[in-house]
Amino acid sequence: MERSIPKVNLQEFINGTEEERQNFVKQLGDAFEEWGFVGVVGHGIPDEKIEELYSNVKTFFSLEKATKVQYEVPGLAGQRGYTSFGKEHAKQSEAADLKEFYQFGQTVEDGDAIKSEYPDNVAVQEVDGYNTTMLDAYRHFEYAGAHLLRAIAVYLELPEDYFEDKIKNGNSILRAIHYPPITEEPKNAIRAEQHEDINLITLLVGASAEGLQLLNKQDEWLSITSGPGEIVVNVGDMLQRLTNNRLRSTTHRVVNPPREMWHTSRFSIPFFLHPRSNMDLTCLDDCVTDENPLHYEPITAGEYLDERLREIGLKK
């Protein structure tokens, strides 16, 4: 089944009138409560930057396997550099997802002591401008994501800058994913098995083919496609946990294409917006009510991320 998710224009919040800002906040919050997903235009990421990003990513994944594995760093749980095909699985599944990926993380440039917590990014030599393009895209995503979180804070009746110090030099990840052509009948696996994201919010710009589906409240799988200039944004488990399930971390997956399209690749580049590891994810007091009692024990973002990386097979 295919159905459009709600769409909002971020410029109404960044540069709009007070009425436009209030309208944006309500639209965004309502979409996250009902769907957990929203389409965002006016996000400020130029089309040419998106095209350059996808071009570089496709070039990287077209390299020989022996070249790519040189960028796979043992001990980093896939948090930087390359992760080869078949390493990651959904937390409830033993079957590996049909994908390989490359992750680019935070680059601390202001002397913040948190730099000691982050491994260096892995510089790709074979693709001209690869790391520069990744960093540029990373900063654009951080900018858009920060404004979306400001709007979420207003929706939750928190100070507008509630998330600001928690995401400054946060542990966000830009992940370039390649789903290779399918060459034989998959064994109990689809390109990405149903899952929820770990982080606060995920921003997904473009995808080279269809396949993304979300599970709605009626337990129906809906196909999600983004229009021109639109990014798809969804709630992650950290934000769901913080809001005691008020904002939904919606289950989603990437299904295999029809058999006649098995020979094609699919590329996708999500930005997983994480806070600093010391952010307290204890449920907000105003989100705990008689109708919605406390669902989660206190935990920090870093502890929660570590727990999930073990569940999905990236960390031992």
Instruction: State pLDDT tens for residues 99-141.
Output: 899 999 999 999 999 999 999 999 999 999 999 999 999 999 9
User: From edge to edge, which strands make up the β-sheet containing 266-273?
Assistant: 7-9, 37-41, 231-235, 201-207, 266-273, 173-179, 100-105, 81-83
Cα–Cα nearest to 315, from 144, 164, 100, 91: 91
The pairing of strands 192-195 and 37-41 is unpaired
What is the rounded distance in angstroms from the CA atom of residue 50 to the CA atom of residue 214?
Answer: 24
Residue 3 has pLDDT above 60, yes or no: no
Largest Cα separation within the chain, whole Å, is 58
In this prediction, residue 237 carries a pLDDT of 95
Predicted local confidence at residue 108, as pLDDT? 96
Q: Classify strands 201-207 and 231-235 as parallel, antiparallel or unpaired.
A: antiparallel
Q: For the chain, what are the domain ranges?
A: 7-311
Rounded Cα–Cα distance for residues 45 and 171 (Å): 20
User: Phi/psi at 269 (nearest 5 deg)?
Assistant: -135, 90
Tell me if 230 sits within 8 A of 190, measured CB to CB: no
Share of the chain above pLDDT 70, in %: 88
Q: Enter the tokens of residue 18.
A: 């007070």
Crossing angle of helices 130-155 and 18-34, in 10° steps, is: 100
* Domain 7-311: which CATH number of 2.60.120.330, 1.10.3720.10, 1.10.3470.10, 3.40.710.10: 2.60.120.330
Mean pLDDT score of the chain: 88
CB-based contacts of 204, cutoff 8 Å, min separation 6:
212, 226, 231, 232, 233, 234, 268, 269, 270, 271
* pLDDT tens track for 63-93: 999 999 999 988 887 789 999 887 655 555 5
Count of CB atoms situated within 10 Å of the CB of 282 = 16
Task: Report pLDDT for 291.
Answer: 94
pLDDT of residue 208: 44
Q: What confidence category does residue 245 fall into, taking pLDDT thresholds of 50, 70 and 90?
A: very high
Q: How many CB atoms lie within 10 A of CB 173?
A: 23
Sequence-distant (6+) residues with CB within 8 A of 133 are: 49, 52, 53, 56
Asked whether residue 192 carries a pLDDT value surpassing 80, the answer given is no
